[in-house]
Each structure stands twice: as structure tokens, then as C-alpha cells.
A and B are shown apart, each in its own frame.
Chain A
Amino acid sequence: MTEHSHLGNQLAVELHGITKRFPGVIANHDIELLVRPGTIHAIVGENGAGKSTLMKTLYGMHQPDEGTITVNGNLVQFKTPTDAIAAGIGMVHQHFMLADNLTITENIILGDEPVDGRGRIKFKEARERIETLMKSLGATFDPNTNVSELGVGQRQRVEILKVLYRGAKILILDEPTAVLVPQEVDELFTTLKRLVADGATVIFISHKLDEVLAYCDEITVIRQGTTVAHTTPSQVNRRSLAELMVGSDLPDPSGRETKIGTDVRLQVTGLNLAGEIVGAKLALEDINVAVHSGEIVGIAGVEGNGQFELCESILGLRTILSGSISVCGQELSHAETRERINMGLSYIPFDRHREGLLLDAPLWENTFLGREENSSLTNGPFISRSKIESDCRSIIDRFGVLTPSEQVPAFALSGGNQQKLVVGREMASDPKVLLAAHPTRGVDVGAQAAIWDELRHARDNGLGVLLISADLEELIGLSDRILVMFDGRVTAHLDPATATPEMLGTYMTGEEQGVAQ
């Protein structure tokens, strides 16, 4: 498996003048990419810069309009991913494509099963091959384990095995670390280093600069659809690389001039919430959180450790077992959701598509959503379309939502602009308390800066914010205090002035608990 010919200076992948147009947009133009064999080559750029489009071109998911692709010195044209796989290219997608109820072996051979003359799957042979591959990766799990029992990092390794099993020598990893905690990132790169040492080539797509600088051999920067720089980690630092990516000055989450107020805006005391299944452990256990006016309290945690349930409990969408919730001193533990919202509670939901937007409806209806009690937008029981539209226009202006008008349906906007619209709507009613779940998830750097600015501005005006985020730098930069949630409990209180992403990672995985000062 490890035999590979030394090809001297021949490049593993060579892209020249790649241009890909979609109707109305040029996703890629004049891309130049040179990847040397046996390296980890990072492709960095902000969201929407065109990284994914480029990788889809290389993986044969669509054809470029102009330009050439050369793999191992041969000029190629990929009509489908099958052609790319045949040329030794494999792709590990950001979203795992694994069947939970099958074993690791079954998942890996799925769609490429070795069969004998009578059509039976040769499991033994497959397993042996997989075990050899696993050894070369340094993976230690049993190939007969069900995938449902694996953690995120292990699942990712199975995805990599899937690609290797199909004979890939050039691996494309699309933002592989987005779902990992810092420790898992370390493990991933250890794996990748082994692969590269065995002669594979890794193309690593990311916008996380620290890991790119720490682990990659070469870097190509994409900005606004084209390659703007080719460099190595020794030639750049974090700041200069980021500036190459953004093309201008960088946003920074930190900074505050005002003092935290003394009045408590949100008080959660002794909150317990039953689990989904009767008799199961509590979904939330003895949660105590207080948010003062002008304060941002950050909640760190791997997704699924109770953050979602905490928001739903505060909003009154779930019936709590015990404990109390109050907003601005008003006890609201058993109030209806609407009542809580009218008290000044606001919510940027976890998933803007599922809980934030009416995708088919025009923007003005979207900014009206949840604000039906706002008398400046209605005439008695009737909605006032003209007032809502002008309100929507002012949200669009204030938050820099890029849109032709307030009449276009929400699905026509890019993700970043959709998010800005949701944030804008939630801030428009001058809330007292904001529950912000991943307020900048999946948005570009420009939109991120705009949203951070608005959060800071509102905070300086006395807004209390409960910030839930997977972006640890955002958490550390914006928060005045950080709580770590693990397994439905608050397991640590950290000071953002001294916290580091690695430290947060340790707490998030439940390895450590308590107060760090």
C-alpha cells in the first residue's frame, strides 16, 4: 500500500486559469494552484471566497468554464467525482456521510464492496485491508464497532479511511476542524502527518489561521474568487495572513469602555429540566446564571451539552422541573413565551433556517416575525405593511444587509446577509436581554465584524447578553465572563482575560471542572 514512485519535481495537482461562473456570479476566476506531492497544502479564505467551488471543480462535481487541471503531470478532465476518484483524488466532506446503524467496515466499503463470484461480500478481505489502513493512520478502534458509538473525531477518521480505501493519494479535506475541539484537531493533524509521510498529499481547506500556520507546509490564499497569494507558514504570521485573506484591516471581538451595570437583567436559579425520555437523566441540572445590564456572559461547550435546552427553558418553550427564571427582576418561570418576549427577551436562534426565517417570504415579513405586538408596526388587529416595510428598510440599512430591496424572499440572500437580518430583527425592538446562539455562525468576516459591533454597541447601552458560541475566539473576545457547560451542567467559570482556546477545550470535553482564575 505504501509503494509510491518518486516523481521528482512533478506536482501532485496543478490548476491554471480556472474560472467557474454561475449565472450572475463569478465564483472562481484565474485560479492558480500548485500543490507539491507529500505536503499538507492549506487553502485559506473567508466564507464565500470561493474555496468550496474550487474544490468541487477539482473533485469533478462540476466542470470549470476555463482553465486546466493537471494531476501527477497528466492533463485531466473530470466529468464526475468517479473520474476524480479514479485519478486518486478523494474528498472528506465537512458534513459526515456515515450510516449510524452500520459498522465501521460496512460504512467504509459501502458502494465499493469486494464481492466473490457468487455476489457475496468478502468481509474478511475488506476487514484486513481496513486494518492495514488503520495501522498506517495510527487509528486504534475495532472495525466492527457501530458508527453510532463513535465520537466526532473518530467519525472523521472513518471518513478519511473511506477515501483511502478507494485508493486516494490526494485528499481534500473541507473545513475538517469546524466540528472538532482543540485536542481532536491535534489528533487529526497527527493522522494527516502520517499520511503525508507515507506519500499522500493533503489539500486542507480552512479559515482557522492558527492551525494552518501550525501544521501546514504551504498555503494558498483565496480572496473574492481568485488566488491572491502562495506562501509558507515561515513567511507569514497570523495577522499578515489574515490581512491577505480579508484584503483589509481585521475585525477584533474584544474591547470595552463602559462598566457592567449592577442590575440583574436575567436571573436563572437552580434550573432543572427533565430529559427527553422519561426516567433518563436530567437535560439540565441545577443551572445558575445571572446576566447584568451591559454584560456579555459567554457559554462554551460542545454542542448538545444543554445549551439549546437552556435557551428553550429561558424562552418558556419547555416546561421546567424546578428552579426560577426572571427577566429584569420579574419572575417569569411559568409565563407564556410571548409574555417573556414582551418583557424584553430576545433570541437569535441556533439555526437561522429552522428557527429564524420564513425563507419563502419577503424580507419585510421576516423582520415582522415575532413583533406582531409592536404597536408601531400595526393598526389594531391589522398589520401595517407600509410601516413594516420602512422598519425593514431601516434594519437593512443599519445592519448592512446586502439586498436589492425588502421585497425579495429571504432565500435569495446569502447566509451572512440572512444572519444579519435575523440579528437586526432581534435588536430592533430594543430588548433588555438577548440570547445569542452562534450569532456569527457561517457568516463572512465583514458580516462578523458588523454583528460584533452591534452586540458591543447594544451592550454599552445596557443590553444583557447570553452568548452561546462554538467560535472560541469570539467567546473569549466578547464575553465578560465565560461559563462552560458539559452534560447539562455548568462545570466551570472562566475569566476570558486569562482563558485560552486550548483551556476552554479541556473544560468542554469534561476533562476538567471547577473555577479557573
Chain B
Amino acid sequence: MKSQRLQRMAVTSASSLLAVFVALCICAVILLITGKDPIEAYKTLFGAAGDTKVLQGALNRATPLMISAAAVAIGFKMNLFNIGVEGQMRVSLLATAVAGAAIRLPAPLHVLFCLIVAMATGALWAAFAGWLKVKRGVNEVISTIMLNFVALSLVAWAFDSFFRVESTTGSLLVKTKELPTSAWFPDIVDRRLNGMFFIAVLVLVLFYVLVWKTKFGFQLRASGANPGASRVTGVNPKRMIMISMLLSGALAGLVGMRALLGDVHAYQNNLAEQQGFNGIAVALLGRNHPLGIFISALLFGYLGEASGRLQLIDIPKEITTIMTGIIVLAVVIINEAVKRWDDRRIQHKAALALEAVAVPA
């Protein structure tokens, strides 16, 4: 009966692929309307896949997307929509940049220290939203959006008032004090692919094991799927909300680490911008499953990386942003339609199987 599971997986993947295909078609129409040749555009966009440098860049871009999608997905599994990954990430970026620059440790320990600070501060910021929901019943969608604004402004103010240092190279960008090299996360391919990629893959593997293989993960999914049913079995819904918000926030804290520890090595205002929000799209396309998230993150990373090529043939690279948006819309709509169809299919199949058993008896 393993085949049943495989079938469900095939249906799920097919519906996501269909969504991507539909999005490509819609974007082709948009390109046509703006007087560009969609075939040429897609040739350029996907032709870039032959280039190792583009692929390395795609993996590099996929790294934060995987982590932030996992942060969103762990919330979704419990029916919590954490839109606050961006804000949680921002708080932890500044905190880590400042704490990391303030101490001296041998290399691996220093990196570990930074990652722990990042997770702790991300979790702390997410805990506000969790606390509001548990204690006051505030919808987490509202509170996390609002806390995003608070985080953005608070971090900008703190950075500007206390932590900025004037640039020594004459660059206009102001940053915090640079991290010592012991806190740098090493590259796999110099300046192209950072080692945080492995951390992101590890996050997805641990996410899978935790949510699908442990008792705790089962309770988490059960409370997400039917809060009423898990409540009567003694699972404390408030506790589950708090734990999943903390986990989600801890992952959110890690999202910006590729940019901070692996690239810029100091906090600046646009560091890792939007990567928290983009995780929502990746989680949706990946159906909150680690494998799906991995593939979706690669796709989005690739689109981002290859979009530069479009400019060479005079097509604005923003078309890939539009594509990303349309993919998300298409995913939401098509997934729902496919799920209804598949539910009916399963029900009929079950009925047929029972008839087949009943008739000879």
C-alpha cells in the first residue's frame, strides 16, 4: 500500500509543476503585451542553466530561502501563519552582528556562537507574537505583521543611534563594526557559494525528522489539522502555539546568516532584505514539505540568479519577480482545485475497493 503514498506525492508534485507552467504561460502573455519575445526570453532565462557559475549562484540564493521557508512551514504545520520571519530575521541580524563583533573566540566556536545568538534573538522576537496569541488571543497574522514594522524601525533606530561605524573605505554604505574573520562562515566556492548552504540542507533534514518522525511532530501536525481532536487527547494548544512560534522564530534568525556571516560580515540596512517574505512563497510552492521546499528554493534562487541575463537582451529582470508572484497565486488556486479532485478520487477508489470486496461475499 506504499503506492498510495507515492500517488499522493505524485499528484502534489504535478499540481505544483502545473502551477509553475501556468505562471510561465501568463508571463509569456505579459511579455507579448510589452512587445518582447517570450520564447527568446525563456531561452535566455533557462539557457543559463548550462552555466556552472549561475548554478552556484542559484544554490547560494536558495540558501536563505530554504531556511525561511522552513520557518514559515513549521508554523503552517500548526496552522499558524508566521508572516513575521522578516522582522525576526532583522532583529537577529543586528543582534548577531553586534554580539559577534564584541567577542573573541576560535573560528568554529565563534561561528557557532553567532548562530546561537541569531536563533535565540529570532525566537525571542517571535515569542512576542506567540505570547500575544496565547494570552490575549491576538491573531498571529496581525501581530507578526505589526511586529515586522516595529522590528524594522527599532533595528534601524538602534543601528543608527548606537552601532554604526563610519566607513573606512569611503563607501557611502554605513555598517556595524566588521566581524572578526573567526566568525566568517567559509565559502564552498569562493565568493559564489557559501557553506551556509549545508546548514540550510541540515535545517530541512531536521525539520523533516522533527515534524514527521517524532511524537512531538505528530502532536504538532495533529493540533494543526484538528485542534479540537488533539485538545481532547490532552495536547495543550497554547503550549504547542508557543513552541512552534519559538521554533519558527529560531529558524527565522538563521535566515540572514548567509548574508551576514558568509558575505558582508557586518550589519547594513538592506542586508538580506525580503528574504523573510520570500520564504512564504517558497513554503507555499513547496507545500510545506522539506523536499518541496528544497526544490522550490532552488527554482526561486535560479530565477533570481538568471534574471540578470534578461537585461542583456533588453528585457527588464523584474519579469522574474512578476513570475514569482504569479507562481504563488497559481499554486494557491491550483493546489486547492487539485486537492478537491484528488479527495474525490480517493473517496471513489475506497468505495470501489470495498465494492470489489463486498460482491464475492
Contact = CB atoms under 8 A, between A and B. Distances in A.
Interface in A372-417: 372, 378, 381-383, 402-409, 411-413
Nearest to A336: B234
B231 to A, nearest CB: 7
B229 A382 contact: no
A336 B235 CA distance: 10
A341 B350 contact: no
Contacts of A347: 232
Contacts of B354: 402-404
Contacts of A340: 234
A348 to B, nearest CB: 10
Given A25-B355, A370-B233, A383-B215, A358 B226 contact: yes
Interface stretch (B27-35, B279-287, B340-348): B340-348
A3 to B, nearest CB: 48
Given A372-B219, A405-B1, A407-B4, A357 B234 contact: no
Nearest to A377: B215
Contact of B351 (A24, A337, A378): A24
B213 interface: yes
Contacts of B189: none
A368 B218 contact: yes
B157 interface: no
A151 interface: no
B213 A406 contact: no
B357 to A, nearest CB: 8
B232 A317 contact: yes
A130 to B, nearest CB: 40
Contact of A369 (B213, B230, B343, B357): B230
B213 A359 contact: no
B233 A411 contact: no
A25 B346 CA distance: 13
B225 A412 contact: no
A338 interface: yes
A347 to B, nearest CB: 6
A23 interface: yes
A48 to B, nearest CB: 12
Interface class of chain B by DSSP:
helix
A339 B355 CA distance: 43
A276 interface: no
Given A24-B355, A403-B350, A409-B346, A382 B234 contact: no
Nearest to A378: B215
B99 interface: no
B5 interface: yes
B238 interface: no
A404 B350 contact: yes
B139 to A, nearest CB: 21
Given A368-B218, A381-B216, A382-B213, A407 B5 contact: yes
A428 B228 CA distance: 21
Given A369-B229, A406-B1, A409-B346, A25 B222 contact: no
A315 B228 CA distance: 13
B219 A408 contact: no
Nearest to B233: A370
Given A372-B218, A403-B350, A354 B1 contact: no
A349 interface: yes
A329 B213 CA distance: 36
B353 A358 contact: no
Contacts of A408: 4, 346, 350
A294 interface: no
Contact of B233 (A359, A369, A409): A369
A411 B229 contact: no
A355 interface: yes
B349 interface: yes
Contacts of B142: none
A301 interface: no
A413 B213 CA distance: 25
Given A24-B348, A402-B354, A317 B231 contact: yes
A355 B215 contact: no
A404 B228 contact: no
B234 A383 contact: no
Contact of A25 (B225, B228, B351): B351
B55 to A, nearest CB: 36
A408 B348 CA distance: 11
Nearest to B5: A407
Contacts of B1: 405-407
A341 B233 contact: yes
A99 interface: no
**Among A347, A359, A404, residue most surrounded by chain B Cβ atoms (within 10 Å):** A404
Contacts of A412: 346-347, 349-351
A166 to B, nearest CB: 33
Of the candidates B229, B231, B354, the one having the most CB atoms from chain A within 10 angstroms of its own CB is B229
A361 B225 contact: yes
Contact of B232 (A349, A358, A360): A349
Contacts of B343: 409, 411
B321 interface: no
Nearest to A341: B234
B273 to A, nearest CB: 36
A315 B218 contact: no
A412 B219 CA distance: 22
Contact of A404 (B5, B219, B231, B349): B349
A199 to B, nearest CB: 42
B232 A357 contact: no
A225 interface: no
B233 to A, nearest CB: 3
A407 B5 CA distance: 8
B214 interface: yes
B222 A358 contact: yes
A427 to B, nearest CB: 15
A382 B349 CA distance: 32
A23 B222 contact: no
Contacts of B349: 24, 404, 412
A347 B213 CA distance: 26
A364 to B, nearest CB: 10
A357 B225 CA distance: 9
B337 interface: no
A404 B229 contact: no
25 contacts: A24-B355, A25-B351, A336-B234, A338-B234, A338-B235, A339-B234, A355-B228, A356-B229, A358-B222, A358-B229, A359-B226, A361-B221, A369-B233, A370-B233, A370-B234, A381-B215, A381-B216, A383-B214, A402-B357, A403-B354, A404-B354, A404-B357, A405-B4, A407-B4, A412-B351
Given A23-B348, A369-B233, 14 more contacts: A336-B236, A340-B234, A354-B229, A356-B229, A358-B225, A370-B230, A370-B232, A370-B234, A381-B215, A383-B215, A403-B354, A408-B4, A408-B346, A411-B343
> Which 4 residue pairs of A and B lie closest in terms of their CB atoms, listed nearest first?
A370-B233, A337-B234, A338-B234, A404-B353
Interface of A: 23-25, 315-317, 336-341, 347, 349, 354-361, 365, 368-370, 372, 378, 381-383, 402-409, 411-413
